[in-house]
Structure 1
Amino acid sequence: METKAAPHPTYDPALPITACRERILAALGAHQVIIVAGETGSGKTTQLPKFCLEAGRGDEGLIGCTQPRRIAAQAMAARVAEELGNEVGETVGYQVRFRDRTGPNSRIKFMTDGILLAESVSDPLLKAYDTLIIDEAHERSLNIDFLLGYLRTLMPRRPDLKLVITSATIDTEKFSAHFGGAPVIEVSGRGYPVEMLWQPLEDAGRDGDTGGRDLYRAIAEAERGLRRRDPAGDILVFLAGEREIREAGDFLGRQRLPHTEILPLYARLSSAEQRRVFHPGPERRIILSTNVAETSLTVPRIRFVIDSGFARISRYSHRSRVQRLPIEPVSQASANQRAGRCGRLGPGVCVRLYSEEDFQGRPEFTEPEILRTSLGAVILRLSVMGLGNVETFPFIDPPAPRMINEAYDQLVELGAMNRKRRPTRLGRTLDRWPVDVRIGRMVIEGDRLGCLEDTLVLASALSIQDPRERPLDLRQAADEAHQRFADEKSDFAGLLRLWDYLRRKRHEVSGNQFRKLCRREFLSWQRVLEWFDLYQQLRDLARENRMRLRGKRGSYEQIHLALLSGLLSHVGLKHPEGRDYQGARGRSFHIFPGSGLFGRMPRWIMAAEIVETSRPWGRTVADIRPEWIERQGAHLLKRHTFDPHWSRKRGAVFAWEQVSLYGLVVVEKRRVDYARIDPEEARRIFLLEALVRGELDTRSEFLAHNSRLREEVEELEHKRRRRDVLADEQAQFDFFDARVPQDVCSARSLERWLGQLGEAGRKRLYMGHDVLMREDAAGAPEDRFPDSLEAGGHHLPLTYRFEPGHEADGVTVRVPLEQLNTLDAGRLQWLVPGLLRDKLIGLMRTLKKSQRRSLTPVPVFADALLDALGGRTGDALLTACAEELQRMTGMTLGAGDFDEAALPAHLRMRVEVVDQDGELLAAGHDLAELQASFGEAARKAFMAGEGADLAVDGAREWTFGELPERTRTPSGVTAWPALVDQGDAVGLRLFDQAEEAAAAHAQGVLRLLALNLADKVSYLRRHHGLSREAQRAWRAWSTVETLADDLAWSSLALAAGVVWAVRDLEGFDRLADEVRSRMGRVGRRQSDLLNQVLPKAGGLLELLAGRIGRRWPEVAERVRQQLDDMIYSGFLTDLMSGRLEHYPRYLDAIAERLRQLEENPARDSEREARVEPFWQRYVARLEAGKLYDEALDDYRWKLEEYRVSVFAQQLGTAEKVSPKRLESSWARVCAADETD
């Protein structure tokens, strides 16, 4: 970051914090985290940023100062800028929602804590800052707790970052412990004595329902008393919310106070109105404020405080599971903070509109927001902001695991999170609503269903305490007063009636008359106004989110569907006996007596809350329909299907379905089409019942024919006096299973399919004697000794010869040259079914004697093995045999233990290769040898014969249309189209093997990318970013130009990722765009790694050429071989993605080996002996010219990790590795050989 000239800060000696300047500067230099605790007015907020500036902070990043509220961030930025002699936006700036007043030369940035949290998503390391000041941490808002937790995990990763936490002198030990015992610096306050006057309102309730006029009269009375003490003294009045501020302002304005200015102060105030508060004029002022002025802001010139003792505090009710916004008495700490505001300039007076006994009974501190907030909202906020999991997030006060799981369940219920505990799109929308998540879910659904206005009314009603009052001594009168709003189907509809009535009356009568009306109607006037306020706030928020506000009332179904989306776990089903309801997860409840539905007892209801007092009660309930539960709770429903059965009348397979939600049966028994649930099983039932057993009404002749033939076979049973001639149902089933398409599972789909077939096609369903007669009665069936072998889409002819000693004794498959490579050795091992048992006996007899002992008698084991192999014909026979015998006996057995070559000729498939004229080219039992000899010729023949018409050469653009992954040639052969790299162009070819096609296609796509991104490739070649040390070291292997080419090509390949799946122009263009954007970044990462790797490798070469080579030449030679196998011309292109990341550790391991070699040569020899056999096995395979595939690559790098574990164990390995794991990896290499 460019260093900016910093103004020299000056300090006001009258501020208490100035006296602590040296201590704070010393602590800031010695510690990464410090905590500054001091009372309001000590100067923490304005002076600490200047201290940081003086300490040299702000040079490598901004000094960030968070404030809990926008108004404070703006005001403090203006104050500090003024003290530094700047305008806001120069040295000091601020950023709040929708406004950024920072400039390029800013060094100090004030912001809300939410802004810093949002920045952590895009800048996880907060690199824009070199210092952070978290102000007013004692407020313990959710955002502050999120920040403190996030910063605790960040600080070890940012040792250059300094963190200052400021707090009132409240619970500073918690902050210190959270940051590993960070030092706490106490700053004394600049307070004068404050005289406390107690003037309680006579009828003040614990929820702040004092009767607004009584409260405002009390404020006016207190003001008169204070004015007598000092006619010019400014007064700060603390009230619960914006509505109280407006109404108190109106009331005091009507008093015509002399030479007095009345000003509001709350968080949403405009900047212009804020300035009036912080820049007083000549007149005396009365400032009406929310708790924003408790700690966040220092209002100048305050002489007196009047404290109503209340604030609106968001609180989650665990009983009703709803987040509410009640007006509550403030804590003692908050009350003391308020009182301290008038002791700044001189002795002050605080008038508390509550009693001293009331004060003493209040909690000492305000609960942290996380302990009074729905945990669902906390989890959702953490997930949406990307701050991690709530289970592992380092909260100062972590929630209990049980509450976490309940919250996750709630978010899944609401559709805000999926089963993997990740936020959904709906969840991200829900996170923007500052209400309980259930309420927010209702609002979003109300918008979707077109009944938003109604939902907002009900959402705001459910977020406050019920405004309807039922005094114990006047319960009947209250019920009668409320009865006219009741609705026999829904208490929610009753709330809407009450809303309409109250809105109308509020406009018809005066404020005082309206208050009296509420009392007369047994309604809490305070809560009614709270309802109005919250509705308006939610309405404003809906406008901000561009929701559709319509004046028309929604239908009963629309409104209750919207509500149900947030109340799915609050549904109830009436118990068949009794007056209670079965609720979710086995709990039961009753309808609350005050409900309009108390006597009706509908079958299904939903409740806004379920509260347990004398018994569990469902409050605010409504009659709902079970199909609404299916509609809104589809993601939560459990569906159980049972008794699938064939219906001849309907011509389909049906089952019964039961649908439940949280254990409540929503649908008891409903007939469903079973094919939609389990098409495979539905087809099985259809084939068995309809086709095999004939329970089908059809016009097709095949069923009648098969019935007649069955009668003939049954007649033959009579003639032979045997009951084992007719084949069983399984054989008949298999006949239809092999012929009827997979999607045919009903009479209608069968008739549709038959209608598409010609007469010959329909004849396929006519059974013959070979199907309906048992094998021993009809002779050996054709499929045991088939006439052809299916391979590569062709049926290759099979010939049989019984002539022991003859070259062609046994079974021979005749294959055209162009199809030779499509043959699979594993498939040929299976020979034909009729000879398989004999082959299994022969294979077991080729085992060692010690192994055969566990397999006696061999024929019995052969029969068991034959049964076990029934479903494994897709595997190589020898591998399948070894695994099944190992499973049967427990002895260790591998495919290599069998000696197939030792079997008689008739138990091994013989292969004849013929040219296009049918002339024999070669024959033998070793398919691998034939493919090695004729594989290239076979490939050319395949391309010339099958792929000639599709071949393309010299393409430099994607001109191939959409390439299928596989295709059939005109002759019916399966082939794999792929691009091929032609150096300065690409071509198109057909391949006879999928693996070769995929490899060629990947190179072809990369070449085409290189041609299309030639500018990027060329740029990376020229601007390779290799250090001089790396270049100098590389010259031991090749030229820098070859390395630059290799770097450019490998960066292209890494940026492209998996390219073999690109099959069309759109995919290619999309990939090219992605590669263009990523290639530079990948190239830089590659060159950064090379700048580490090559100098290390060069240093090792110097060691090997020097004293190591002179003293231990054999070791030097082996290490040089190891290095040359890792680093060579073109090695970057050969490396699999991510492998280069491990090279520094591999080279460090070699260096450590050479260091220890000089200390103990004998130990090095012992270690080398542990590695050498594995290495020589690998080298031998390479020298034999075997294919270098993924299995061998995996073995090679496991071996490198093994070297690290042997020679430098302290460096650690990327994966668990041991001789046993290396043997398993080598077995996979050998298994790949067997199937090739």
Structure 2
Amino acid sequence: FILGYLKQLLPKRPDLKLIITSATIDVEKFADHFDGAPIVSVSGRTYPVEIQYAPLAEQKDSVFDDDAQTEAVLSALKEIEQLDRERSGPGDVLIFFSSEKEIRETALAIRKQRFKDVEVLPLYARLRQADQVKIFQPHRGRRIILATNIAETSLTVPGIRYVVDTGLARISRYSVQNKIQRLPIEPVSQASARQRAGRCGRVAEGVCIRLYSEQDFNARPEFTDPEIKRTNLAAVILQMLFLKLGDIAAFPFVDPPENKAVNDGYKLLFELGAIDERQQLTDIGRTMARLPVEPRFARMLIAAAKSDCLNEIAIIVSALSIQDPRDTPADKRQAAREKHAVFDHPDSDFLSLFKLWNDFEVKRQELSHSQLRKHCSRNFLSYTRMREWRETHRQLLSLCHQLRLTTNKSEGNYRDIHTALLVGSLNQIGSRSEGAEFLGSRNRKFRLLPVSSLAAKPPRWIVSGTLFETTQAYSSAAAKIEPEWIEGVAGHLVRRAWSEPHWSKKRQRVMAYEKVTLYGLVIIERRQVPYGDIDPTVCRELFIRQALVDQQLQVDLPFFKHNARLRKTLEKQEEKLRKQAVFSDERRIEDFYEARLPDWIIDRASLLRWYGKEVRREPDLLKMHLEDLLPSESSDALQREFPDRTTLHNNPLDVKYQFKPGADADGATIDVPAPLIQQLSRKDLDWAIPGQVRERSIQLLKTLPKALRKQLIPLPDFVDRAIGDLDPALQEEDLLTILCEQARRIKGVQISPEQITVAEIPEFLKVKIKVIDKSGKVLDSDSDLEELQQRLVKDERVSSAIRKESQASRHPLEVSGMTDWALDQLPEQVEVGEQLKLQRYPALVDETDSVAVHLLADPLLAASQTRRGMVRLFRLRTRQQSTDLLKQFVAQQRAWGLKLPPFLAGKDVAEAFVFAVYCENFQLRDSFPRERDAFEQRLLDNKAGLFELAAQLTAVLDKLIARHFDLVRQLKLPVYKGSHVGTDVGSQLDELLAEGFLYCVPFQWLREYPRYLQAIEYRLERAQGQLERDSQLSAEIQQHWQRLQRLERTECETLNAFVEDRDTLSQIRWMIEEFRVSLFAQQLRTRIPASAKRLARLWEIAVGGAG
């Protein structure tokens, strides 16, 4: 740099003479640089030096396999001993090494060889002053000096006759890539090798033994790289900018530096704040240029003045600017460490230096000059370097005062001191990664030196004074810091990245996670920060979407509450479709707010500021209306498909929808008043929610056996055809029946409702019933209507509700005390009630001496009661015939005597007999007269046949008694007691002759009773040798009989059991008896064709999927 400056100055100063002297420079290059300046060679007084080459690879019989260099040195010393014997006496030896470690190891090896009259002395820069001066003291015998390249140019060692040159040196080089001062061991240049050889030709002829080959020597560079190519150029660039020496690219360097080195210098100056983005000097840079220390240290001083800790930083910077004043002799390393540990600060090597300074200053005041030297010696401190430290500090502090950098009056705190250090060391921070290793900027890894006070317990974050690299990277001094301090002083260098912007309900603004890095080192990993200033556009989007649309905004504003209510209404509509955002489409809501909110509204605070002003002018500001949210689909269409109210038996009932998969209430639920529950049938629910019919049909068909299901695929297409154009009249049928019928008609596939498993369809497709009382209290609920009806038929709460509803809804038809037909008409059903429309079935009820008209909830019960009531009314109109028939049957009972079975004994049976005669005579099994004229006509047409019919029934009972008497005796035989046949026959008789059978069994089947009992006799006869066959036939009968019993129990427990065709059900009951005859007594023949297939067809017609 100085030579370049002089190059520019010489043309302006003709009187200025420049003389450059050196023993190792490239004189030709220098002469050319200064426009062909003359070269004057002055030879010193030297003696010839013999050069010998002894490459390490050529050493033989090595005994130091792990250290060939040490072996080569020992071999060279033995060679020197041989040369001494040929000369006039022993001469001193200077051996060049590249490191202190090599010197210590070689010294130990030489001493082990026990050379005669030999003194071994080390010589290197960090060696204590007292040890360094030993090389100048008189001595006897041979002196072997082991030196680094300090003995090459820095000082002249007297009396050297021999030089051993390893050809290596540790040369300081700044790494532009890693931003670190490296100290690699490299082969020296030819000029340095000649300089080393010249050290043995000062007093006499000398010998230089080079431990490398001549070819190696000739291949080496002629001169050592100039320092400007091996150091950071920040200091040079700073001075050039300060002195206004122009563009560095045009500056006349003897050896111009590379562009990347120049750029690196500018980057460091920008890091320190010495220059701006345009590479112009800042005020800080001008101050730095006037401080004669490294730019980093100058920046620390300026920052310290601002942070009120200049006193401490001046002391620390002074220490860093000189060689470490603490001595650590190789042979007294532990003792030195113990003495130095007194000054250790647990968190900072810099404050350790500060403690050392304070201690020395106290001792300097207390002790004499000689005592102070002894104190330093005892504590392994270099007195010379301590004085150098003080002098450097004095000069720095004086310059700071001149630059008006004020010193602090009180002691600086830890944070301020280390923040000031950080300002100059932003490239030298580290975060502990694994073990004792630190990760620095640009993915650089380094360790603390063992002598650091932080080495035993490394902190998470440190700042380093100097990073250097030998075999690996080390920090010469370090201190614990917090990562937040870095961000505070490196704001112009850190890079910030933001992720996951989101609306914060707590802060009511958009926040994001910030990641802060410095030169690739993560300073802050994940910190929540406001995102408004970073990306207002995204903040606005998130504010609208999450705060307004998702309703996470915490405000008590009219528009917000209004819009929430509107959306709640529409969300209930969405539950019908089991889809979200169909009507309350978030995109539409976003568009609504987008169009009305100014661009700068990004959070709660900005909304409140704007809204408070605008709402005065427009009270309905930001209030949404239905048309703002509805898509093109018609709300009316949705209401038709998924009504909020459905009409069942002329009663509009509330329907509620929930989209909660897995929950009991998932799907549609109808609120049914308790008095109405028994009127409902499965077909009512099948069509209650039109929008579910298609999907329910598909799911029902999926439960079919695979062989049948395959014939209908694709199922959606089949369902669309099956129910798409369905005649509304067909909706009087249940869905299963229609699907089976349409499968037969469209596809020709025969399907029984029993093959469809309703229980397997998804729960949300099963319409739920919630039974409520008049106050709205839930009494029970279920998706299985029949099961619900069975539970509630015995529920007193439901019975009470029905009674109360009936009392409150009395109908004009309800009369009592009738002894003759007193009605204009007896309708099959009527509607009662005002608020609740109930279907009621008028029944003519037998009250013994008269009849009454009651309204019943169940049509079956109404028909049964009306049949008895009709019989009573006909008996009242034919009192004499009724009395005579009763007397005749009582007389017949006495005539039967001992043969009279229990099921035909008693007055009640006589009443049943008369009932059976009247019921059959006036044809009341199939229909009733419902008008006065029809009643009178039926009376007139049939009353004459009463006694003839009574005689026929008596004859049937006479045969029945005879056969029953014989069967009872036969079943008492031991062979039948406890047997399967005996048990089955006993059960059959119990069913045929159950109490009140004369009331229930139509006369046409009563006539067949004798034949049924005769068939039993045949069965008993044949069963003796065919028990297994009998058991098989019995099992075939039992599957039908048990099914019928289940259904009859349901009829008894439920007022309105699910039976599609009750006439067919009656046919099944008697076909089972005929089927018995066909299996066990074929010779008797059957009254009607009976078989298993015929029974199956009747079941399909009668009950669909029930049973």
The question of a shared fold, defined as TM-score above 0.5 by the shorter chain, is answered with no
Normalising by structure 1, report the TM-score.
0.37
Normalising by structure 2, report the TM-score.
0.40
Instruction: Determine which structure has more spread, i.e. the larger CA radius of gyration.
Output: 2
